[in-house]
Copies of this chain bind each other. A is one copy, B any other.
Amino acid sequence: MSNDQIPGYTMGEDSVQEASISMEEFEQLKQSVMFTEEDEEYLQEAGDILESQIDDILDVWYGFVADHDFLVYYFSQPDGEPIDEYLDRVRDRFGQWIRDTCDTPYDEAWLDYQFEIARRHHRTKKNQTDDVDAVPNIDLRYVIAFIYPITATIREFLDDGEHDSDKVDAMYHAWFKSVVLQVTLWSYPYVHDGDW
């Protein structure tokens, strides 16, 4: 599926506001998660391995959400009805996110879009992209908490039997760093001015 066929996916479009930090500040954040050029290469390799498995990965993640009412809640109307169209549309963008996470190096368009994803989780912009009437905000605590499942569950998909375990580990750690990096950026709109 090419990008412009994914409803609501707008990386690189003019409608996306500029990032709230400079590329220099972004460099420091990368250093604080120990993210290096080697990680960029490992992520590219990971992307090749994951591409054909994207649907299976999304099944695992969506299954995890589906198993917990207090998580399905965020895809639901305030009265409790999950919105299937919302789940489906976000799923396509989530698939593209796997590709984008592996499509290093991260440039300004990528960084800008992280702040857009942040706003879409936060009440600033949640629900607008898909024009739905779901609950207004995803509580930040679950976004941070998801660092664990979104990291840990990827390892089995990276381990495709064609790479030795050191290589799988290196790709896995590059993924782990990237997820922490992105969730860090996504916390921005939730935080008091000057505290982030």
Chain B residues in 8 Å Cβ range of A187: 140-141, 144, 187
Per-position contact with B for A144-185: 1 when CB-CB < 8 Å, else 0?
Answer: 111111011000000000000000000001001100110111
Q: Which B residues lie within 8 Å of A181 (CB)?
A: 145
* Residue A31 is within 8 A (CB to CB) of chain B in the complex: yes
Complex Cα gap A90–B139 (Å): 30
> Is the CB–CB distance between A145 and B196 below 8 Å?
no
Interface of A, secondary structure class, is helix
Q: Interface size for chain A: under 10, 10 to 19, 20 to 34, or 35 or more residues? A: 35 or more
Q: Nearest 6 CB-CB pairs, A to B?
A: A32-B145, A33-B148, A144-B184, A148-B180, A190-B195, A190-B191
Given contacts A28-B68, A33-B148, A141-B185, 9 further A-B contacts (CB under 8 A): A28-B70, A29-B141, A29-B145, A32-B68, A32-B145, A32-B149, A145-B181, A148-B177, A190-B195
In Å, the complex CA distance between A140 and B188 comes to: 9
Interface 1/0 per residue, A24-59 and B, CB below 8 Å:
000011011110000000000000000000000000
A148-B177, A190-B191, A191-B191 in contact; A196/B32 too (CB < 8 A)? no
Instruction: Decide yes or no whether A120 CB sits under 8 A from chain B.
Output: no
Please judge, given known A-B contacts A70-B28, A152-B173, whether A33 and B191 are in contact too, CB under 8 Å. no
Known: A28-B70, A152-B173. A145 touches B195 (CB 8 A): no
